Amino acid sequence: MDSRKEDLLRRLPSVDSLLADATVQAFLKIHPRALVVDSVREYLDSLRQRILQGERSVPTGNGPWTEGIADFFEHRLQATLRRAVNGTGIVLHTGLGRAPFADAAQSALAAVAAGYATLQVDPETGKRGDRHTHVELRLCRITGAEAALVVNNNAAATLLVLNTLAEGKEAVVSRGELLEIGGSFRIPDVMKRSGARLVEVGTTNRTHLRDYETAVTPDTALLLKVHQSNYRIVGFVKQVPIGELAGLAHAKGVWAVDDLGSGALVDLSLWGLPKEPTVQDSVGAGADAVCFSGDKLIGGPQCGVVVGKKTVIDRMKKNPLMRALRCDKMTYAVLAATLRLFLDPKQLPSSHPVLRMLTEPPESVRKRCRSLRRRLDAVLGSAGSTEVLPGASEAGSGSLAAIDLPTWVVSVSVHGFSAEELARRFRLSVPAVFGRVHEGRFLIDCRTILPDEMMYIQSALQGIVSSGSTV
């Protein structure tokens, strides 16, 4: 190690001396001491690494050691889970929490989070109640099913269905439907964990009813259909509709299960979007159980929903896994309020944030981009430039796969910042602002910007411009 590095390392302050610094003392007044002490140690570790790596811009002397510590602490001590502005154009962005909640759902969440709630007690008798009642009647009314239950996500719903109906027995599924979704969720793996034995039929692109019929044995428990929600096979293809599959299943004395994944509760083609199979279609076609996500096209909280025949749902409610997979009061509150919106389909495009984003005309998005551009130009002055450009949004989270939504974006450039560094600075703002980098440009897609969020983007840019460039 050279003498310069050794000298700098010797001159590093102690933890106690930094804790006595006025800047750090200010943080001690508003944060727990243990967190501040940990942050001081991390800050000193970061300085050591910079010295060892040969960085010559490391401050020297006594006072200068605290240069930059305020910014370090701001990022270290702020909550890691905080509000984010979604300018990526991905409507259902898994990393950003998927669906933004409707106003009614936000109010319902606040109400039950503020204190106790009637989650599992009957107000009439004062005795223990059934938490499923908060959404079951509403789900049955919307879908036409006899019964319903909710678990913590659709992977859990699939697991519960298979374990309840097919543990130790065979579940028959088309090879073209053995999908994988984000997070390495694979249908074959879930079936194995459930205790069901996978039986593959057909080919990747074509599966016929006779393939299922030939596969049924005395050990068969159910025929499973899985919606290709996050990919498409086109060309010379053949799939068996759920109605035909249910008819065969019941003729053979086995169950028919439909895993719809993203789970549409309305015909999206009414608003010019590609038609997705609805839960009502599957229930009406005779499926014994239909499972789907609550936080995708439904626009509710993360959860998995199962609707179907009462005998089937009752068996699932008694499964010991149900307690491990059940949801809390906040999930039920948000889901119940979101489902209520579907009782008035005509108002959905205005009351339902996800559907509003998916159906907003490009020209309307362009108008909001121009408004955002004016705000940003007022901040930039001669420090950079903006431009409104055409682009493409997407539904995201395995919904409406391979469909681009025409949109408009605001391109933002700041002198001295690369597009990647600009994107990073926006992400580190409070709230965090997420955009996308495309062909060397930092872009903000206004399709996924909520009405009150333009001021956050403007504020974030103000902070970036004030901080100075990186070159």
469 has a pLDDT exceeding 70: no
Query: What does the DSSP 8-state code read for residue 448?
Result: G
What pLDDT is attached to residue 158? 94
* Listed residue (92, 79, 102) closest to 31, CA to CA: 79
Q: Which of 213 and 183 is assigned the larger pLDDT?
A: 213
Q: Which of 77 and 102 is assigned the larger pLDDT?
A: 102
Please compute Rg for the chain using Cα positions: 27
* Listed residue (371, 366, 409) closest to 389, CA to CA: 409
Q: Kindly state the tokens that stand for 358.
A: 């998916």
Confidence band (pLDDT; 50, 70, 90) for 204? confident
What pLDDT is attached to residue 300? 96
**CB distance 446 to 369 below 8 Å:** yes
Confidence band (pLDDT; 50, 70, 90) for 145? very high
What are the pLDDT digits (tens) for 10-48? 888 889 988 988 888 988 998 899 999 999 999 889 888
DSSP string covering 230-263: T----SS-B---HHHHHHHHHHHT-EEEEEEET-
Query: Cβ neighbours of residue 280 under 8 Å, at least 6 residues apart?
Result: 142, 143, 144, 265
| Pairwise CA distance, residues 285 & 308, whole Å | 11
Average pLDDT value over all residues in the chain = 91
Q: Which residue's structure tokens are 């027995």?
A: 169
Q: Which range (6-10, 96-100, 300-304, 361-365) has the least confidence?
A: 6-10
| Pairwise CA distance, residues 331 & 352, whole Å | 17
Find the helix or strand (DSSP H, E) in which 78 lies. Answer: none
What are the pLDDT digits (tens) for 99-132? 999 999 999 999 999 999 999 999 999 999 999 9
Beta bridge partners of 197: 170
Instruction: Rounding to the nearest 10 degrees, give the CA dihedral for residues 215, 162, 282, 352.
Output: -150
Segment 386-408 mean pLDDT: 88
Confidence band (pLDDT; 50, 70, 90) for 7? confident
471 has a pLDDT exceeding 50: no
| Pairwise CA distance, residues 283 & 299, whole Å | 20
Q: Which residue's structure tokens are 């990186």?
A: 470
What pLDDT is attached to residue 345? 86
| Pairwise CA distance, residues 432 & 438, whole Å | 19
**DSSP H helical segments within 268-383, as ranges?**
279-284, 310-318, 321-325, 329-341, 348-351, 353-359, 362-380
SS3 11: coil
Domains in the chain, ordered, with CATH?
3-77 (no CATH), 84-95+358-467 (3.90.1150.110), 103-347 (3.40.640.10)
State yes or no: cis peptide before 431, omega within 30 of 0.
yes
User: How many CB atoms lie under 10 A from the CB of residue 89?
Assistant: 28
Q: Which residue's structure tokens are 């130009």?
A: 377
Query: What does the DSSP 8-state code read for residue 445?
Result: E
What pLDDT is attached to residue 23? 85
What are the pLDDT digits (tens) for 303-336? 999 999 999 999 999 999 999 999 999 999 999 9
Cα–Cα distances in Å, from 171 out to 55, 60, 223, 256, 262? 61, 68, 6, 10, 22
First to last CA, the chain: 29
| Pairwise CA distance, residues 76 & 38, whole Å | 10
- pTM for the model stands at 0.86
What pLDDT is attached to residue 34? 93
Helix axes 133-143, 329-341, angle to 10 degrees: 30
**CB distance 381 to 114 below 8 Å:** no
What pLDDT is attached to residue 21? 86
Segment 278-292 mean pLDDT: 97
